[in-house]
Amino acid sequence: MNSNNYIKLFPLVLSSVFFASCMKSNPMITQSSITATESIGCDNLQSKVFDSMYEFLEQERATPDLEILKQELAVQIDQLAAKQKITDLEKVSEFKSEFYKIFDLLIEESKSSKQIKTVKEHLQTLIELEMQDSSSQQNIVLNSKISKQFHKVSSLSQSMNLECQKEQATPIETAVPAPVNAQSRMMAGLNNAFSTAYQSCQALQIPEVSSSTSSVVGIRRIGTHTDGVGGIREVYDVKAVQSTHPYIRVASGEQNGCFNVRSNPLIYDYGGEPGISNNTINFFKNVGSGSSVLGVDCSAYVSSVIAASGFRYKPGVDNKAVYIRQTAVKFVDAKKSGFTCFDNITLSKAESIKPGDIAGVRGHVVMIDKVGTDPFGLKKLSSVAQCSTISPANFDFTVTQSSPSKNGIGINKYIIKDYLAEQGSTGKMTVLFTEMAKNACKAYFQNAAIKPASADWGIIRHNGKPECLAPRIQLANQSCVSQCQL
């Protein structure tokens, strides 16, 4: 590079630094701009850009000021250009302009097109966009615009010879032994999350919740969530919870490496979510939109199991702790949600539900835990004509979930026929499993393969393919239960 080019480039960098110094200081915006730009020229740029937004929304619980963010991005891009001795100022300026447009889409247009009112809704929308969710027309339009914009940025960086400055991890496809049993891997993650939540291996040995299980004492509902749907609860008598909650009874107290769950019991918390820090999930830090009690809702629990199992939702998209912020409805239709590592199950005479399957409706999601030899009671029937009369009373499997059952028990394992009896014949989960059973019945007697589909319910299963595996997300305090047989 000749001296004239250096003279042209340095004022550009100094100008960016000057503008940055005049901005209102916000370390998180600076950090987000670093995260967004450190992979320019790398294959994982799109992933890091989304990460930059997740970081800010998670930490600040607010949307970043777009203009201040752009100024911080300019500082980072100018520094990168100077480091790589890129002197074409027009190209640098064009690159900035196109790079900014990505954030226009992720911040301004996503909020306006989907009428986003809360940070939680914004975070959930960004996750949908990274997954390329196609469940709404707004998402389809945004997905197209975002893909085109990243392509423009990538083409520009190549034309400028912007090189990847950050060492990229070895692709998990070559790092993970292939293939694995997705069912056993998911169940290991499930039991890890369950025992970690209660800081007890013994919690895994407690008999499943049933109709004969007494309600928990010491918890009460004190109001309604701001969305007007779920309840807000509190623990008013810790000792009563300790003696009547089946899992808290065996939870760890003050032991080395363990969180004192006995004194700080996890219960059902509508809108409650685990904390996230350094890509670690923490059941013992209260966040989300629920109450001040410790506890998580249904989608946060099931998503935590997926993360702890080491599963991707789609090839090329990392296993990220932030994906526990998804809603229950995302597990209804794998294809629409962009979960290409999952698929809605197909039923046949030889294939039925399996442990690790995820059953979702609009408003709740559970995971299949144990499955009997005849899960839908089909052997009690003699012909396809009886499929319409199938009864949940004959179902033989259990589910794991976080639910308000038994006066707010929270994370639990429940015998399905008793759980559905609690929900009633019109309950969404009752409808899901009854319809699934009817389809299983038809498949069984007609020796057919049936893939049930509904806009309101569905059961999805991970494919376990090598490209869909990833390092497991760590759970805070999981060392307390490292001796558990998972």
The string of pLDDT tens digits covering residues 106-141 is: 999 999 999 998 999 999 999 999 999 999 999 999
Mean pLDDT value across the chain: 91
Mean pLDDT computed over 305-320:
96
* 219 and 357 inside one domain: yes
Give the mean model confidence (pLDDT) for residues 173-191: 76
In a domain, 486, yes or no: no
Q: Does 423 lie in the same domain as 293?
A: yes
Q: Is residue 168 situated within a structural domain?
A: no
pLDDT, tens digit, 9 for 90 and up, residues 459-481: 999 999 999 999 999 999 999 99
pLDDT band at 171 (very low <50, low <70, confident <90, very high): very low
**Domain check: are 155 and 216 in the same one?**
no
Same-domain pairing of 257 and 152: no
Short-list 381, 365, 302, 303, CA closest to 332: 365
Average pLDDT of the segment spanning 23-38: 87
345 contact partners, CB below 8 Å, separation of at least 6: 351, 353, 357, 451, 452, 459, 460, 461
**What local confidence, expressed as pLDDT, does residue 168 receive?**
54
pLDDT of residue 255: 78
Other residues' Cβ atoms within 10 Å of the Cβ of residue 74: 24
Q: Which pLDDT belongs to residue 379? A: 94
Same domain, 188 and 153: no
DSSP calls for 297-336 = -HHHHHHHHHHHHTB-SSTTS---GGGGG--GGGGT-HHH
Mean pLDDT score, 300-312: 97
Residues 199 and 153 in one domain: no
pLDDT of amino acid 257? 80
Residue 24's pLDDT band, with cuts at 50, 70 and 90, is low
Written as six digits, the tokens of 227 are: 């969305």
Give the total residue count for the chain: 486
- Decide if pLDDT at 442 tops 70: yes
pLDDT at 338: 97
Residue 78: is its pLDDT beyond 90? yes
Q: What is the mean pLDDT of residues 262-277?
A: 93
Q: What is the distance between the alpha carbons of residues 320 and 117, in angstroms, rounded to a whole number?
A: 24
In a domain, 170, yes or no: no
Tell whether 323 is covered by a domain: yes
pLDDT at 455 over 70: yes
Other CB atoms closer than 10 Å to residue 366's CB: what's the count? 29
- For residue 174, the model assigns a pLDDT of 43
Evaluate whether residue 169 is within a structural domain. Answer: no
Check whether residue 125 and residue 28 sit in a common domain: yes
Least confident of 23-37, 216-230, 306-320: 23-37
Instruction: Examine the domain organization and report whether 439 and 313 are in the same domain.
Output: yes
Q: Is 173 within the bounds of a domain?
A: no
Q: What is the CA radius of gyration of the chain?
A: 25
Distance CA 429, CA 366 (A): 9
Does residue 22 surpass a pLDDT of 70?
no
Instruction: Find the range with the poorest average confidence among 83-92, 305-314, 459-468.
Output: 83-92
pLDDT for 345 beyond 70: yes
Number of domains in the chain: 2
What are the tokens at 196?
């970690």
> Is there a single domain that holds both residue 189 and residue 141?
no
pLDDT confidence tier of residue 12, bands split at 50, 70 and 90: very low
| pLDDT for 419 beyond 50 | yes
Domain boundary among the residues 159, 174, 195 is at: 159
What is the share, in percent, of the chain residues with pLDDT greater than 70? 92
d(CA 108, CA 111): 5
Q: Is the pLDDT of residue 337 over 50?
A: yes
- Average the pLDDT over 239-252 and give the result: 96
Confidence band for 229, pLDDT divided at 50, 70 and 90: confident
pLDDT, mean of residues 389-393 = 95
In this model, does residue 155 exceed pLDDT 90?
yes
* pTM reported for the whole predicted model: 0.91
Q: Are residues 155 and 235 in the same domain?
A: no
Residues 382 and 414 in one domain: yes
Last residue of a domain, one of 159, 191, 217: 159
User: Residue 294 is which amino acid?
Assistant: L
- What is the structure's pLDDT at 14? 45
Q: In terms of domains, do 84 and 196 share one?
A: no
Residue at a domain's end among 112, 128, 159? 159
Single-letter amino acid code for the residue at 426: T
Give the three-class secondary structure for 251: coil
Q: Which domain covers residue 50, as residue numbers?
A: 3-159
- pLDDT number for residue 166: 73
What confidence category does residue 167 fall into, taking pLDDT thresholds of 50, 70 and 90? low
Does the residue 177 lie in any domain?
no
* pLDDT > 80? residue 19: no
In sign, the C-alpha dihedral spanning 14, 16, 18, 20 is negative
- What φ, ψ does residue 92 adopt, rounded to 5°? -60, -45
Q: Residue 364 in contact with residue 428, Cβ under 8 Å? A: yes
Q: Is residue 10 part of a domain?
A: yes
Q: Torsions phi, psi of 238, nearest 5?
A: -60, -40
Calculate what percentage of the chain has a pLDDT beyond 90.
Answer: 82
For residues 378 and 351, give the distance between their C-alpha atoms in angstroms, rounded to a whole number.
13
What pLDDT score does 179 carry? 60
